[in-house]
Amino acid sequence: MQVRYKLWLEEGEHVFGEGLFELLQEIEQRGSINQAARSLNMSYRQAWGQVKKAELRLGQRLLATRVGGEAGGGAELTPAGRWFLQRFKEFKHAAGEAIEAAFRQYFG
Amino acid sequence: MQVRYKLWLEEGEHVFGEGLFELLQEIEQRGSINQAARSLNMSYRQAWGQVKKAELRLGQRLLATRVGGEAGGGAELTPAGRWFLQRFKEFKHAAGEAIEAAFRQYFG
DNA sequence: GGGCGATATGTTTTTCAAGACATAGGGAAA
DNA sequence: TTTCCCTATGTCTTGAAAAACATATCGCCC
C-alpha cells in the first residue's frame, strides 16, 4: 500500500498546481511554450490555456512572451513567474516529505 | 491565497480516501449504509459501490452487513474497517497540519 | 515575398466518471 | 400476507473536463 496526494493553491479557484509547476519549469529552461509543451507531451493549446487561466486568476503575468522574430518568438518567466516556481518547489518538497513521514508513522 | 490538498491510499489503484472515510464514519454511527448515504447526501448505490470497490481491491471486508430483519437490515464495521477508519483519521490529521505549516512557511 | 517557428484564440469532439434509474430479494412484525 | 426498510446489483444517462481541430498573426531570414 502506498500514499498518494495532490497539492495546489487556490485564489477562489485553482491557480497553481503540479501541472503548471512542471510547465513553467520546462518553459524556463527551453524558452518557449511550444517546446515545453512538446517535451511534456501536451498540446500547445493546452499549455497556453493553463498559463493564461492562472494569470487571469492571479491578476499578474507569469510569462513574458514575444511573437515573431529570430526563433519565431518565445517565452520567459516574469519575476512573479520565477517566484511562484521557486516557492511552490520548496513547498511541495517540504509537504511531500511530511506526508510520507506521516504515512509511515500510521501505516508503516 | 490558500492551500488545498487531497490524500489517499492506493494498492495499485485508489482504495481509501476522504469519501470512503466519511462514509465509514457515518455508517459506524448510524448502523446502515442507507442512513449514512442519506446523511451524506449521496445515493445508496453510490455508497455501496464505493465500499464494494475498496473491499475488492483491499482483499478484505470493511463492513459486515445483514439483510432483512427488525430494521430491514444494516451494516457495521469489521475490525479491518475500524482499523482503516482510525488510522486514516490520524494520518489525515497529521498530514493536514504539516501541509498547512509548510504553506505558511513558504507563502505566508 | 514565401517559409519557418512561435504566440494567440475560438470551436468542436471525445471520453470518462458521476449520477440517475431500475429491479430483485430478505426477514421481522403487524 | 402485506408493509417496511434494508442489502445487492445491472444499466443507462448526462455533464464536465480533456483533447483535438481549425485559423489568424507576427517577424526574421533566405
DSSP annotation string for A15-26 = EEEHHHHHHHHH
* Number of neighbours of residue B45 by Cβ within 10 angstroms: 9
Q: Which domains does chain B have, with CATH numbers?
A: 13-107 (1.10.10.10)
Burial class (CB within 10 angstroms; exposed 0-12, middle 13-18, buried 19+) of B80: middle
Determine the pLDDT at residue A45.
Answer: 98
Determine the pLDDT at residue A7.
Answer: 97
Residue B24 C-alpha cell reads as 465509514
pLDDT tier at A59, thresholds 50, 70, 90:
very high
Residue A2: which of B3, B10, B103 has the nearest Cβ?
B10
Determine the pLDDT at residue B73.
Answer: 96
Among candidate residues A2, A22, A35, the one with its CA nearest the CA of residue A107: A2
Which residues, numbered 85 to 104 in chain B, qualify as contacts with chain A under a Cβ-Cβ cut-off of 8 Å? 87-88, 90-91, 94-95, 98-99, 101-103
CA of B67 to C1' of C19 (A): 25
User: A88 contacts in B (CB within 8 Å)?
Assistant: 106
pLDDT, tens digit, for every residue of A46-57? 999 999 999 999
pLDDT tier at B12, thresholds 50, 70, 90:
confident
pTM listed for this prediction: 0.94
pLDDT, tens digit, for every residue of B46-86? 999 999 999 999 999 999 999 999 999 999 999 999 999 99
